[in-house]
Amino acid sequence: MNEDRDFNETPDSERSNLENAENNVSTDNSPSREGIGEAVIGAAEVSAKTAKIFKKKKKSVDDEQNDKINELINDLQRTRADFENFRRQTEIQKSQYGNVVKFTTVKKMLPLLDDIERAIAANPDTLAPLTKSLEKTTKELGLTKIPSEAGVEFNPDLHDAVMVEGDGDTELVGETLRTGYYYENEVLRPTMVKVIKQ
């Protein structure tokens, strides 16, 4: 062999061997690169799918928790509204009960007031100071006398007629037989009167 020959001037057989070796190396490397790439892409797809599943699960768990929270808030609001209604009804019932008790108590005192009025009418000179005291007490109790002086027009809502005299068209109070009272602007007891028709 001649050592002085140029490197590029390699014989054809050696050249073909070298090309085959390069081809083998490149073909050996190509499939392994594609396999690695496919594995990486597959892993990325799996992790993306897993992330979607976890995201869906997390989303559904969050939705369930939000639904439960909203349900509890609605229950709390309903309970609060029920309690407010109960409180108002209790206050109204207390007030009504108190009014009924006062109304009943004052009504039971009316016969006593009638007796005092009769006593004053029988002995006006002696019991005159008692008249002022009686008027003051009735005012403090919230009692007001229903107007029933002679000549006042008869009103069946305020007056209870027990006697009627005359034949006219106009009905007037002739005489008061028992005093009637308003209690807190409501008729507690109508006045018992004798009616004169003119």
What mean pLDDT do residues 139-146 have? 88
Q: At what angle do helices 124-141 and 12-122 cross, to 10 degrees?
A: 170
**What burial letters (b/e) apply to 90-128, b meaning 16+ CB within 10 Å?**
eeeeeeeeeeeeeeeebeeebeebeebbeebeeeeeebe
- Taking the domains of the chain in order of start, what are their residue ranges? 9-107, 143-198
Q: Which of 40-44, 75-79, 137-141, 145-149 has the lowest mean pLDDT?
A: 40-44
What is the percent of the chain with per-residue pLDDT over 70, rounded to a whole number?
Answer: 70
Tokens of 52: 């979607």
- Under DSSP, is residue 167 helix (H, G, I), strand (E, B) or coil? coil
Contact predicate 164/195, CB 8 Å? yes
Q: What tens digit of pLDDT does each residue of 90-99 get?
A: 999 988 888 7
For the entire predicted model, the pTM comes to 0.52
Q: Check pLDDT > 60 for residue 11.
A: no
- Under DSSP, is residue 146 helix (H, G, I), strand (E, B) or coil? coil
The pLDDT, as a whole number, for residue 7 is 45
Q: What tens digit of pLDDT does each residue of 26-52 get?
A: 444 444 555 565 665 666 666 666 666
Could you please state the CATH topology (level 3) that the domain comprising 143-198 is classified under: Nucleotide Exchange Factor Grpe; Chain A, domain 2 (2.30.22)
Report phi then psi at 37, rounded to 5.
-60, -45
Residue 9 identity (one-letter amino acid): E
Residue-wise DSSP of 19-30: HHHHHHHHHHHH
**What burial letters (b/e) apply to 143-156, b meaning 16+ CB within 10 Å?**
beebebeeebebee
DSSP E strand stretches across the chain: 143-145, 159-165, 171-178, 181-183, 186-189, 191-197
Residue 30 identity (one-letter amino acid): S
Q: What tens digit of pLDDT does each residue of 174-194 get?
A: 999 999 999 888 898 999 999
Q: What tens digit of pLDDT does each residue of 101-128 get?
A: 888 888 888 998 899 888 888 888 888 8
Q: What tens digit of pLDDT does each residue of 72-86 get?
A: 999 999 999 999 999
